[in-house]
A and B are shown apart, each in its own frame.
Chain A
Amino acid sequence: MIDVREIKTSLLTHRYKNGYTITFSPLTVKQGQHCLITGRSGSGKTTLLHLLCGLLRPQQGSVHIFGTSIYQLSNRALDHFRGTSIGIIFQKPHLLPSLTVTENLSLAQELAGLKKDGEQQQYILSKLSILEKAESYPTQLSEGQAQRVAIARALINRPKLLVADEPTSALDDNNAESVLNLLISQATDSKTSLIIATHDQRIKNKIPTIYNL
């Protein structure tokens, strides 16, 4: 049964280029629920996240995100769906260095096919307390600030699903703590489902649902 209020995968298989095949047991995350994917490095955390976000087509199995079977979409439609419904945060912020913080946010809005929304940008930036950096370029930001901008970028289109791949591993304890708190509070506020892949012990006691590989 497909439920429009949950993210649900069937048994997913992916074959790596070297021929090694990995299988992931089914996963269900309810709307607004937070889930942690853990496992030692090389266990396929990132692969699973990519399968969930529509970045990697599985050899077998399907991914339903709030009722949409994403691998039945055309490439173009999948790009659009990802842009509007899924926010992704990576280990490093990877902001576009040639654009200011606001421009980076505008880019995220426009690439998703939405209108640039200045108010939403201000709102998100102030919630993440980096509003004073709005017109700065990424090179002028600290690691923690840049990662917060990356979170803002992932949240700007009010996605229903927020996916983070090792969001804290490049940060020191203080920054990791605050970034993680921000992620959780933002997700809770907007009733967004949150999936974090990590091997960072600092996260494990904050999120109860754990999917172990």
Chain B
Amino acid sequence: MNLFYLVRKNVRYNLSSCILSIMLCSFGIATLCLIVLFSTQLNEQLERKSKNIDLVVGAKGSPLQLILNSVYHVDNPTGNISLKEAHQLSKSPFVKMAVPLAVGDNYKGYRIIGTDSNFLRLYQTKVARGRWFTADFEIVIGATVAKKAGLQIGDKLTSAHGLSNNEDLHTAHPYLVVGILKDSKNTPDDLFLTALSSVWRTHDHEHENSDGVNDLHHLITASESEKEITSLLIQYKNPAAIAVFPQMINKETNLQAASPAIESSRIFSLLGIGFDALQILSYLLMLMAGGGIFISLLNNLKNRKYELAIMRTMGASRIKIFMLTITEGAYITFIGTVMGLLLAHIIFFLIITYSKNELINPFYYNEKEALIAITGSLIGFAAALLPAIKSYSTQLSNTLAK
């Protein structure tokens, strides 16, 4: 019968007074763990998705919006830029690679992007099955969308206008799936890729049928005079470009250059305030758990003084009695910690199931969790310290004589 067995039996015996501490501790740990899991995964996602992109050039407007639209594929475009201007920029000596994007249509909520084969090089991915598109209205699809939308090579699909709705279908121009991309765990997984000209032709055709009424929702228009794209993703040739190139674009052209690194850190710092608030809450919860353990151990000590003294008379050393109390505190927080970590992952799993968000993975494990677990147990240790010292220094004879 070791110390640990005694502690376990004792916690079970005093379960009603321990349960509040365990719950407080587990909620604190769960909150902290959720913050850590969510913020690290978000950060990783933000970083991975913008990894090879040094600069995004698009129409004037909010730089954050431009990045959200062209790098993370969530917001609306800022407007269009002319293909001619984009071409000129991509010939600049600072530019190693430039990938045009034409955004504007969707299939069941997944974006259809008009682009060229540089897109694959930029994201360092390749076609896993089938082939890259060579003609208009051929489409290559990301691994995730292929699975989710249940599309195979040879399937035909009708795109819808806009970025999310399913109402305004381009029935005149169905796309033919010719290839499926490798699972890259990155942006291309959730996209449909097609030639720029397919996007222009889809919308040209509509213009012919729209009786000249200008549709406000038209994000991509291709007039006869000038072809337009949404944005240009740029990879620099050398680091020196960082200082010169964006400024040059912002000053000398009517285009806007935005850096994904700067904008993603802005997104993160905006969210950071929320994270900080939650973090303070979780520390408070854990502090309360610590206080709860402290009080319940101190109370227990009052009731158990005699028991502990009798254990001393049976040969237990002072240090053993000290360890007994310390272990009890640490054990209570350990249970709370384990429950908290489990709770965090379950909550994560529920969030993902309900929101169908693939951004975060519930089974993802972060080494910081081990740190959280240690911190949790340390709180128990600290809370138990004073009661343990008190039990250590109890005068045997005085206690037993009462």
Q: Measuring CB to CB, which residues of chain A are less than 8 angstroms from any residue of chain B?
A: 46-47, 50, 53, 55-56, 75-76, 79-80, 82-84, 88, 90, 94, 96-99, 103, 106-108, 110-113, 116, 153, 165
Contact = CB atoms under 8 A, between A and B. Distances in A.
B9 A55 contact: no
A107 B6 contact: yes
B401 A103 contact: no
Contact of B313 (A82, A97, A98): A82
Contact of A99 (B9, B312, B315, B396): B9
Contacts of A90: 310, 400
A79 B310 contact: no
Interface of B: 1, 6, 9-10, 12-14, 306-307, 310-318, 320, 396-397, 400-401
A112 B316 CA distance: 7
The interface residues of chain B, by DSSP majority, are classed as: helix
Nearest to B13: A98
Given A98-B13, A99-B9, A116-B1, A111 B401 contact: no
Contacts of A99: 6, 9
A47 B307 contact: no
If over half of A's interface residues share one DSSP class (helix, strand or loop), that class is named, otherwise mixed; here it is helix
11 contacts: A50-B397, A50-B400, A75-B317, A83-B313, A83-B316, A88-B310, A94-B310, A96-B10, A98-B13, A111-B316, A116-B1
A71 to B, nearest CB: 13
Given A55-B313, A96-B307, A106 B1 contact: yes
A103 B1 contact: yes
Contacts, number: 73
4 shortest A-B CB distances, which residue pairs? A83-B315, A98-B13, A56-B397, A112-B315
B313 A53 contact: yes
A55 B311 contact: no
Nearest to A139: B13
Given A76-B317, A116-B1, 11 more contacts: A46-B401, A56-B396, A75-B317, A83-B314, A90-B310, A94-B307, A96-B311, A98-B9, A98-B10, A98-B13, A108-B314
A55 B312 CA distance: 9
A203 B397 CA distance: 25
B401 A50 contact: yes
A94 B402 CA distance: 13
B301 to A, nearest CB: 14
B396 to A, nearest CB: 5
Contact of B314 (A46, A47, A97, A107): A107
A121 to B, nearest CB: 12
Nearest to B402: A46
Contacts of B317: 75-76, 79
A153 B307 CA distance: 13
Contact of A111 (B314, B318, B400): B314
B13 A88 contact: no
Given A79-B317, A98-B10, A55 B1 contact: no
A198 to B, nearest CB: 15
A79 B9 contact: no
A55 B396 contact: yes
B310 A97 contact: no
A56 B312 CA distance: 12
Contacts of A84: 315
A139 B266 CA distance: 63
Nearest to A98: B13
B322 to A, nearest CB: 13
A111 B315 CA distance: 5
Contact of A82 (B306, B307, B315): B315
Contacts of A75: 317-318
A55 B310 contact: no
Most chain A CB within a 10 A radius of its CB, from B14, B320, B397: B397
A12 B310 CA distance: 24
A61 to B, nearest CB: 16
B314 A98 contact: no
Given A53-B313, A82-B315, A107 B1 contact: yes
Contacts of B14: 98
Nearest to A103: B1
Contacts of A165: 400
A116 B1 CA distance: 8
A37 to B, nearest CB: 14
A53 B312 CA distance: 12
A98 B12 contact: yes
Nearest to B318: A75
Given A47-B401, A50-B401, A107-B6, A88 B313 contact: yes
A53 B396 CA distance: 11
A112 B314 contact: yes
Interface centre among A79, A99, A153 (most CB of B within 10 A): A79
B328 to A, nearest CB: 11
For A107, A110, A111, the residue with the greatest tally of chain B CB atoms inside 10 Å of its CB is: A111
Contacts of A103: 1, 9
Contacts of A46: 400-401
Contact of A97 (B1, B13, B311, B315): B13
Contacts of B400: 46, 50, 55, 90, 165
Contacts of B401: 46-47, 50
